[in-house]
Structure 1
Amino acid sequence: MLRLRRLNNTPLVVNLQSIALVEQTPDTLLVLTNGDRIHVAESVEEVVEQAVAFLTKVQAGALTLVQRQDDTE
């Protein structure tokens, strides 16, 4: 999940898996997999950084679970 802000500074949380495209137009535009479009205040680079950080946390958590499972066997 990404914590972003609409152009009017209203916060929103977007499911990373629902993002199909991120484009600078000149504002940052998220195009979702269902076709919805959301303009956000963050730059494309900031959205990508948040996405990478989120995926890193998810993968680290999955690795920890696998290691714990291996330790109990």
Structure 2
Amino acid sequence: MSSTSVDSNRIAQADGPAPVLLTVEEAARCLRVGRTTCFALIRTGELESLMVGGLRRVPADAPAAYLARRRAERQAA
């Protein structure tokens, strides 16, 4: 199991379902980066996010997708 899915599960309540959307802070914790770095990844389009009302949210699978792309880029280089 990837560390990202483990972290997403930790974010969920013990008796509740895994979250579908993460806050930027939760996504940053999944990626082990700071909040500012996470916002920079969102701003450049490297990390998928969307607005829900006036709130910025990151799909729960987006951190894993970002890491997969980065790994593929590194292997291709």
Q: Answer whether TM exceeds 0.5 for this pair.
A: no
* TM-score after normalising by structure 1: 0.33
**Which is greater in Rg?**
1
Higher relative strand content: 1
Quick one: higher RCO (CA 8 Å, sep 6+), 1 or 2? 2
Higher relative helix content: 2
